[in-house]
Structure 1
Amino acid sequence: MNQKLRAQLNRDFENSSIPSSKSNKPKKIANSREKTGKAPGGQPGHKGHGRKKQEPTKPPVLLPPPQEVLEDPDFKKTGDMIIKQLVSIRLVMDVSEYHADVYYNSRTGERMHAAFPEGIVDDVNYDGSIKAFLFLLNNECCTSIDKSRKSLSDLTGGKLNISKGMISKLCKEFALKTEQERKNIYADILLSPVMHTDCTNAKVNGKSCYVYVCATPDGKTLYFAREK
């Protein structure tokens, strides 16, 4: 009897169906890595991995020689030159304005004007770059709608204040434009000899649902949301 009780007390995730999360005494993971004794960072005798130089977007700035060089005629140019770069980024808001003269026909009373380019419908229109930026913030970077619109507003000095409604429908808008691409990926996943799947909980339009992730080894991935 004592032996049976002792066996029950000694059960854990290794010798029974008890999950490891319920283990009261987790074993310490052994670290078999041997210390090299080297200091962290670059090692003497090895070529360092420096920052990659970028293609200049402005004419080079030629620095004037030091005053000591100008005053001492013994200094001569060696032909060598040291080049260092300063890389920065900036966000520029481009605004294109289209003007169309209105013509009036005094005989028929008809008014006409030149046709505006495709996509120019409202008085103020946002092109794909703004929509793509907000879509990436909201979906790829998992930023809330409020923070996404605030980020764009801050970057443009408060000039662009996109409505929450526009940001919330971007996902559907992009999904409609990729319908054929998603169909092709779906067909490739079904024909793939190996398919990886996963399931997680999420909320879609305020309702709890399951999100199924299906992927192939070559990187094709689709997400399916289904109500619980």
Structure 2
Amino acid sequence: MNAGMIRIGTRESQLAVWQATRVKELLAAQGVESELVFIKSEGDTDLQTPLYEMGVQGIFTKTLDVALLSKRIDIAVHSMKDVPVVLAKGLQQAAVLERASSKDLLVPGPALSDASVLQALHTGDPAMLASIPLVIPSEFNTITNDLPPVNDLPALSFLIATSSLRRKAQWLNRFPNSRFENLRGNVNTRLRKLGESNWHGAIFAAAGLERINLRPAAAVELDWMLPAPAQGAI
């Protein structure tokens, strides 16, 4: 490594690498050399447990904190919504990039293609959905385990994939009969799982999909859903 070159710590997902590369580009514009150092976080290794059940803060940042404190890297790049409010002793927040969209998106699954339903979900108006039946093709009904068949769910109920307690709470406030499937993994993995599922849809942060050009054309913004603090910021 050249003396004076900044080592940028990042997770290995496509989105994390995009974010770290963006920081690298901004440093280069100021005449500062840098390189990426790839580090796997605890949140990347356990893809089964819902995040709210893991019982620790900084699940995506702790490993990079250790790398910083041990001087393996000079800076770490994170989605700011993943960063704990109180940083580890010896660390400080150095910079925040211009914020992208803070909105949440519903990406519809194979079971949901009705444009009128998607428009109603965009506004979050249950009354608009009252007369629209939700039907799942029978060939998808066996994919999700431990949940009732979607066609047996009550009216105005959805089968939605998310591991976020915040998103679940707000969805249930609008559509209280809905069911949820835990969904973990990087953006690419979650999109693949959605495409193979019988879910009505999965909820994503808009910024993450847009940064790596993976926002599906059918995705709808959930204007009524409050985002996580600092969602969309790096």
Q: Which has the higher contact order (CA 8 A, sep 6+)?
A: 2
Larger helix share, 1 or 2: 2
TM-score of the alignment, normalized to the shorter chain, above 0.5: no
Give the TM bin, normalised by the shorter chain. Answer: under 0.3
State the structure with more CA Rg: 1
Query: Structure 2-normalised TM-score?
Result: 0.24
TM (norm. structure 1) is 0.25
